[in-house]
Structure 1
Amino acid sequence: MLIPLALAQFICSFAGTSMNVMITDIGADLDTSVQGVQVAIAVFLLVMAALMIPGGVLTERWGRKRCFQLGLLVYAAGALVSAAAPGLGVLIIGNSILEGVGTALLIPPVYVLATLLFTDTAARAGAFGIITGMGGVGAATGPLIGGAISTALSWRAVFLFQALVIVFIVATGRRLADPLPADPDRPLDLVGTVLSASGLACVVLGIMQADSGFAVMLIQVGIGVALLAACALHLRARERLGKPVLLSLSLFGNRTSNLALVTQAIQWMLLLGVSFVVATYLQVVRGYNAVETGVISTAATAGILCSSLFASRAARNHPQRTLIISGFAVAVTGIAVLLALVRIWPSPWAFTPGLLLIGLGSGAMLTPSVNVVQSAFPETEQGEISGLSRCISNLGSALGTSIAGTILVTALATPTRAYLLALLVLAAAGIAGLLTAVLLPGNPDPKRGRYA
């Protein structure tokens, strides 16, 4: 049962980082810039974040298995469109929009099905460990696999590889059983969907307008915040009238879940932000090709693999809070090592220790954060919280790529300074995540078997 679910998370995470090593190849082929490719990557992550909550609602309305299968089909269509893209615009339609929509449809069912199929706390932690671990592996191996395929064949072949993986997932997922019936009468709050999606888009894309001037960025981000505030007021008004809402505001009444959601966002911000910054620096500044960039990035892959393999055992033997704190501490240390060694050592090996530590830290805390969030709510609310959880994680990914990437792109005239500033911002975010994790409770509620 876990094979198609874990592979689905793997390929969606793979898509978020594989393009990082193809920046120069795509730019040369499609006659676009580093910033153009950054926009495509960030919009993909943004579409996932913006539509993940509606995807959670549709999961309940259409049924978990049906929504999962539909998402796979849309994703495969996007991969094929991307492979044949004649220009940046079509690439954005295929990769950023279609693959983003497909991901938003298929990821919420992955976590809901895992929650429903594995009712034992330890078994559920193990399932989440495998799924989130594969997500981390997908994000970490994206540069390596993508670099190898694009160097040996073409960057377009990377999207064909994604389509082939989707075919395999469809074949292995045919026997998946949906434990609960669909609720076709479950309404979708369209106004809330539009307000939330527009607000998130304005915030993320506004950050990417930094090169157009601080005032432009501030205005667009301000509009995004206003739209999100309007969305919150809309949701509150509908709840008071007893009408169905896109997302129940009561989900934000759980302090433990709120803290864990913040740590989730920052974890993915670190992982995707570092991946983009290092890959861009290696290609644009050092002049490495896709496969060389991917090989250097394998240190992070190795770190995530090692820590993910022990995630299930660690979740049984240690408090979730301890694992998350340790993960952030190791990841921030990795960024510091990355900064120090690359400045004083010109060898490609200078990237290895820091990336290894970042991978170890990320792999150690991805599973505990998801487990804390999902376990904080009963089964009846798993659809909503799954969508919110994935939304927050992908928003963190989009912010990591947009913030760190914008700093790097706007200051490439002084590459060493740009690299330093981008990683310092990510390190500051990691410290904020560490401080947030300290506030988490150490143990679940023993009477209910979940976090209070």
Structure 2
Amino acid sequence: MPALLLPLVCACQFMIILDAAIVNLALPSVERDLGFSATGLAWVVNGYLLTFAGLMLLGGRAADLFGQRRLTISGLAVFSAASLLAGLSSTATMLVAARAAQGVGAAMLAPATLAVVNTAFTEPAVRARAFAAWSASGGVGGMAGAIVGGALTTGLSWRWIFLINVPIGAALIAVAATSLPRSVPERRDRLDLAGAATGTAGLGALVYGVMYGSVLPIVAGVLLLGTFVLVEARFARSPMVPLRLFRTAGVAPGATMLLLFGGIATAMWYFTSLLLQNTFGCDALRAGLAQTPAAVTFVLVARWVAPRLPRAGRPLGCACFIAGFGWLSQAGGVAAVIGATLIVATGIGLTFPTLMALATARVPDADAGVAGGLATTFNQVGSAISLAVFATFTGYDRVFLAAAGIAVVIAAISLGSGRRSDRRQLVTDLA
């Protein structure tokens, strides 16, 4: 196995998460330079998120059909080219289009690299460490986004938050070309275009409707997703998401918990940032610095502690969520917020890698790409839905208490799925 394989997939995950986080501090400068309206500015963020979430399943299936190496390199090329276009944008429309193209590249790249982790690292302990490193790299990307975004915007220009991806992407393409094996997929099926159209449009409409609180897109999204399930179950010769995947041990409970976990992550990073700025008077830089200890804690726990606690990680993580969010709901100052977020970040580090592994580890290699896309899609959609729901609450304390309640539900699902797994193992042993 090439020595650069794990660093490669971790670097790709870092770049994807970095790009989602780095934009926030540059938005005021972007608004002034390109003449965005207040509502139009949101599309600099949402244009990326919508294409990323909506095309993830298609990217996962493409990785299975055309090969992980080919899709990783293609995703890096699309992402880098779109970053160059974003950095050179002269109009608001040009920047939004470039951000949407970045989302396309990320939707190709994320499931392909997750599939590499799932197929290249087959021994359980090694795979657990690989998932932990992959998860931790996303945490580093989120942490670096706030710091690097502020530094580049202040010291150079907002354009460099995008242009920095170009040399990084070029270097990663060179590494991918030399380290990823030239595997030939077993299947030569065509892409499921009907499934891709209904699934992508359904997810996009649902996420859009939830983001903007619009009923019609939500209804359309639900109907399209229902059509997608019908197409996959009855009509597709080579379904984009084979429904048999949900019969694979761990996929259904793992995906469900990742959907709920989106609410945990949103409450932790988004709403604690607002709490620090709107309630305790921090500016954007001080708020980012106040969240840095939690980000470091997440990285350390995900990388070094979670792999050593494969069975106890989720229950301990849920206990951290309940304690940390309970404290956050009563926080009276910045010091209390920092202390509480350290506890929550410990829970995230213990939980997230094990959930990703649970949702993908037992899937056949031929379906590894779509399994990775499915897991990531559930997590992204959960984040979007929870953001829209939490935004209707009248106080941050209610947001954090709701997040603690989500943790209880995750713990219950984890406990139930663990008991079912133990019963299946007992039946196997007796046979």
In the superposition, relative to structure 1, how do residues 89 and 153 fare at CA in structure 2: closer, same or farther (>3 Å)?
same
CA–CA distance in structure 1, aligned partners of residues 397 and 21 of structure 2:
21
TM-score, normalised on structure 2?
0.87
The answer to whether 1:122 aligns with 2:119 is: no
In structure 1, the residue matched to 2:215 is 218
**Structure 1 residue 255 displacement after superposition:** 5.8
Counterpart selection for 1:434 from 399, 402, 411:
411
The answer to whether 1:263 aligns with 2:260 is: no
In the superposition, relative to structure 1, how do residues 367 and 380 fare at CA in structure 2: closer, same or farther (>3 Å)?
same
Between 1:179-188 and 1:295-304, the stretch displaced more is 179-188
In the superposition, relative to structure 1, how do residues 146 and 381 fare at CA in structure 2: closer, same or farther (>3 Å)?
same
TM-score, normalised on structure 1?
0.84
The answer to whether 1:85 aligns with 2:89 is: yes
The answer to whether 1:360 aligns with 2:350 is: no
In structure 2, the residue matched to 1:412 is none
Matches within 5 A, 1:114-193: 114-178=117-181, 180-182=183-185, 185-193=188-196
CA–CA distance in structure 1, aligned partners of residues 43 and 178 of structure 2:
38
- 1:344-374 Cα deviation digits (max 9, x unpaired): 32xx434311222222111111111111122
CA–CA distance in structure 2, aligned partners of residues 25 and 289 of structure 1:
16
Matches within 5 A, 1:277-356: 277-280=271-274, 282=276, 288-311=282-305, 313-315=307-309, 318-319=310-311, 322-341=312-331, 344-345=332-333, 348-356=334-342
**Structure 1 residue 224 displacement after superposition:** 1.0
- Tell me if structure 2 keeps the 8 A contact 1:279–1:293: yes
The answer to whether 1:232 aligns with 2:229 is: yes
In the superposition, relative to structure 1, how do residues 269 and 384 fare at CA in structure 2: closer, same or farther (>3 Å)?
same
CA–CA distance in structure 2, aligned partners of residues 169 and 23 of structure 1:
27
Counterpart selection for 2:376 from 387, 390, 397:
390
CA–CA distance in structure 2, aligned partners of residues 166 and 436 of structure 1:
39
- 1:62-105 Cα deviation digits (max 9, x unpaired): 2211110110011112222222334443332222x111110111
Between 1:330-339 and 1:114-123, the stretch displaced more is 330-339
Q: Secondary structure of the equivalent of 1:12? A: helix
- 1:127-159 Cα deviation digits (max 9, x unpaired): 111112212332343223323332333332222
CA–CA distance in structure 2, aligned partners of residues 5 and 247 of structure 1:
23
CA–CA distance in structure 2, aligned partners of residues 91 and 434 of structure 1:
42
In structure 2, the residue matched to 1:213 is none
CA–CA distance in structure 1, aligned partners of residues 400 and 326 of structure 2:
8
Task: Specify the code of the residue in structure 1 equivalent to 2:362.
Answer: A
**Structure 1 residue 3 displacement after superposition:** 0.9
CA–CA distance in structure 1, aligned partners of residues 37 and 116 of structure 2:
41
**Structure 1 residue 375 displacement after superposition:** 1.9
- Tell me if structure 1 keeps the 8 A contact 2:59–2:370: no
Identical aligned pairs, as a percentage? 22
CA–CA distance in structure 1, aligned partners of residues 259 and 355 of structure 2:
10
In structure 2, the residue matched to 1:375 is 361
Task: Specify the code of the residue in structure 1 equivalent to 2:324.
Answer: G
**Structure 1 residue 312 displacement after superposition:** 5.5
In the superposition, relative to structure 1, how do residues 379 and 265 fare at CA in structure 2: closer, same or farther (>3 Å)?
same
In the superposition, relative to structure 1, how do residues 434 and 138 fare at CA in structure 2: closer, same or farther (>3 Å)?
farther
CA–CA distance in structure 2, aligned partners of residues 334 and 23 of structure 1:
30
**Structure 1 residue 392 displacement after superposition:** 1.6
In the superposition, relative to structure 1, how do residues 94 and 357 fare at CA in structure 2: closer, same or farther (>3 Å)?
farther
Q: Secondary structure of the equivalent of 1:336? A: helix
CA–CA distance in structure 1, aligned partners of residues 344 and 34 of structure 2:
32
**Structure 1 residue 282 displacement after superposition:** 4.8
**Structure 1 residue 179 displacement after superposition:** 6.2
* Alignment RMSD: 2.9
The answer to whether 1:18 aligns with 2:12 is: no
Task: Specify the code of the residue in structure 2 equivalent to 1:222.
Answer: V
CA–CA distance in structure 1, aligned partners of residues 35 and 159 of structure 2:
15
Instruction: Provide the aligned length of Structure 1 versus Structure 2.
Output: 422
- 1:189-221 Cα deviation digits (max 9, x unpaired): 1111111111111211112233xxxxxx23321
**Structure 1 residue 161 displacement after superposition:** 2.5
Q: Secondary structure of the equivalent of 1:439? A: helix
Q: Secondary structure of the equivalent of 2:169? A: helix
Task: Specify the code of the residue in structure 1 equivalent to 2:133.
Answer: I
**Structure 1 residue 298 displacement after superposition:** 0.4
In structure 1, the residue matched to 2:198 is 195
**Structure 1 residue 310 displacement after superposition:** 1.8
4+ residue stretches of structure 1 with deviation over 6 A?
A: 284-287, 442-447
- 1:395-434 Cα deviation digits (max 9, x unpaired): 2233344444x448xxxxxxxx454454444444333333
- Tell me if structure 1 keeps the 8 A contact 2:60–2:370: yes
